A and B are shown apart, each in its own frame.
Chain A
Amino acid sequence: MSLTLFLILCLNGLQYGLLLFLIAAGLTLVFGVMGFINLAHGVQYMVGAYLVFAFTGLTGSFWLALVLSLIAALMIGLLMEYAVFRHLYARPHLDQVLATFGIIIFLNELAKVLFGPATLSIDTPELLSGSIQITEQLRYPVYRLATIGAGLVVAVGLFITISYTRTGMLIRAGSTTPEMVSALGVNITQLFRIVFGVGAMLAGFAGVIAAPLFAIEPGMGDNLLIVAFVVIIIGGVGSIGGAFLAAILVGLIDTLGRSLVTELLGLAVDASMANQIGPALASMLIYILMAAILVFRPKGLWPAKGVA
């Protein structure tokens, strides 16, 4: 393993981590603030990717498509909240799981009907195509660096909003004692709606920026959703900072694990054996981490303050 390869893996891991953060941020807020399990959150990621595909086709410009997709993702999120989710806040978790599972099934199938079952792709925008020299032997695609930058900007923005603005204060208060916040005259349903809409938009944004990098296909959000849940459990439910650190951690572990585990195993057992179990073990790493954290530190590594 050369240093260059290691660097590339770290950058890829960071990028994957930030993508996870964009999805996990909304999930952890919706889960932490409203106690609502939204399995359909991963579908928003898919929706974002398909939206940018459709709008790029229509307008011919990635940037215009980006803006339109964000607006549309926000609208779709708010629509789902209005039509379905708001009726489920007071329901048991199982009902929420079932209803949002139904929405996943519907939207995955809808994507298949509208765009076909084959994988689609879009080009990286011209402004960000190409790659730059980072070290002697290492060139890295500009677009991937840009997604890292975009992820960081959103993370900082969210952190400031949650920590220093009035809305952020209300969200934090609402996540601990919603009854009290409501009793103080804050329209808690309105607050929930804002959180929900922004969460859906962020997941959509993740889908938009992922679209030029990965294949766009029905069901693309399903596995990412599960990983996002892993992230928010590791980070501590309801904690934006926790979600950020855990997302980076999971992104790095998963990306580095995929190349390192097989090599490390090769030192202990013979090569064919290592090739056989290495990939499976690498896929398992994040789940092993989550299980360990649930057993030993059930509140997560960086829990939200004041959560009982």
Chain B
Amino acid sequence: MDRGLVIGGVIFAFLLAMPVLLPIVGAEYLTGLLIKAMLLAIAAISLDLIIGHGGMVSLGHAAFIGVGAYTTAIGLQSGIEEIFVLLAITLGATGAIALVTGILALRTSGVYFLMITLAFGQMIYFTLTSLAAYGGDDGLTLWSLATLFGSDIVQDGRGLFFFVFAALLLTWIGVWRVSQSRFGRVLRAARDNPQRAEVMGYPVARYQLIAYVIAACIAGVSGLLLVQYAEFVSPSIAAWQRSGDLIVAIVLGGLGSRNGALLGAFFIVIMEEFLSSFLHEWRLIYGPLLVLLVLFAKGGLNDLLQPTSREAS
């Protein structure tokens, strides 16, 4: 029995039951929190494709969330309301930007890749702050949201919850399938020994570029859904600290594992909610907790749940 699949299945079943369970215990306000966690998880899973499987440590991934969010916001402002049309535009925009920056960034590797993705991330961030027509630094509140085939079902509450849930489920399945395919194996081969993969005849840079673009597109989708949830968009979602949060999520969860990014993202959001509920200065605990987890829990949360199987590493 595949333990990773079981754990993932349990998490998703649990999430699916939430809209029914929460009203019973009178905690409906947690729906928003779960949507936030799922959005973070979508972006984190996409980042794990390039960091965990590809070994390309990007510190500019949040910028693609920003691109996705702003593309959606600008689309909405210009009267496009159908969510699948917005999705297509978002995928196109993030994909195109990722393709261009990826070609340049992949000329480097290791720490230098981290720095160049940071540079592109900052460029995108400052571009977003300069969009005066769309709020500039202060951001933009959206008065109309996307519709699903003309219906407003995906605008809030349960409808939005299930829509985000579906997106997360698709991302989770999709990224895992990609990583277990021949494509994913080449990606890991290139991570562990790029020269050898190259000599075996695989165009390593092309594989890495495709992974980079896929990851960026998924992050863009997370941006689209973030706009739909928050009804607001500001450049701060693309700041480098947000990219840092995503890295925290996947390292905490366990790199390149089926559920690592998922666990990490939920851990962060729930931890924040839990700690801040009894201590306003919750970061005083959260910071040292990160340090302790790094020092003592190698392999992340995923490893605590499945200590024996080191799948896909």
Contact = CB atoms under 8 A, between A and B. Distances in A.
Interface string B80-113: 0000000000000000000000001001101110
A199 to B, nearest CB: 17
Contact of B294 (A39, A88, A283, A298): A88
Size category, A interface: 35 or more
A101 B294 CA distance: 11
A98 interface: yes
Contact of A276 (B132, B240, B241): B132
Interface string A218-252: 00001000100110010001000000000000000
A279 interface: yes
Interface in A112-159: 112-113
A77 B240 CA distance: 25
Interface string B109-134: 01110111011101100110110100
B287 A105 contact: yes
Nearest to B120: A291
B255 A94 contact: yes
Q: Mostly helix, strand, loop or mixed at chain A's interface?
A: helix
Given A94-B51, A102-B291, A37 B111 contact: yes
Contact of B289 (A102, A284, A290, A298): A102
B286 interface: yes
A108 B116 CA distance: 26
Interface residues of B, number: 41
Nearest to B296: A87
A117 B115 CA distance: 30
Contacts of A71: none
A113 B240 contact: no
Given A94-B57, A233-B115, A276-B130, A112 B287 contact: no
A95 B250 CA distance: 11
A222 B241 contact: yes
A94 B291 CA distance: 12
A99 B112 contact: no
B108 A106 contact: no
B5 interface: no
Given A105-B287, A280-B127, A298-B108, A230 B255 contact: no
Contacts of A37: 111
Contacts of A284: 122-123, 126-127
A281 B129 CA distance: 10
A280 B107 contact: no
A279 B111 CA distance: 29
Contact of A99 (B107, B122, B130, B291): B291
A294 interface: yes
Nearest to A300: B112
B239 to A, nearest CB: 10
A108 B283 contact: yes
A155 to B, nearest CB: 23
A39 B294 CA distance: 15
14 contacts: A98-B251, A103-B291, A105-B283, A106-B291, A113-B284, A226-B122, A280-B129, A280-B130, A284-B126, A287-B120, A290-B119, A291-B104, A291-B119, A295-B116
Top 6 closest pairs, chain A to chain B, by CB: A106-B287, A102-B290, A280-B130, A109-B283, A105-B287, A287-B119
Interface of A: 37, 39, 84, 87-88, 91, 93-95, 97-99, 101-110, 112-113, 222, 226, 229-230, 233, 237, 276-277, 279-281, 283-284, 287-288, 290-291, 294-295, 298
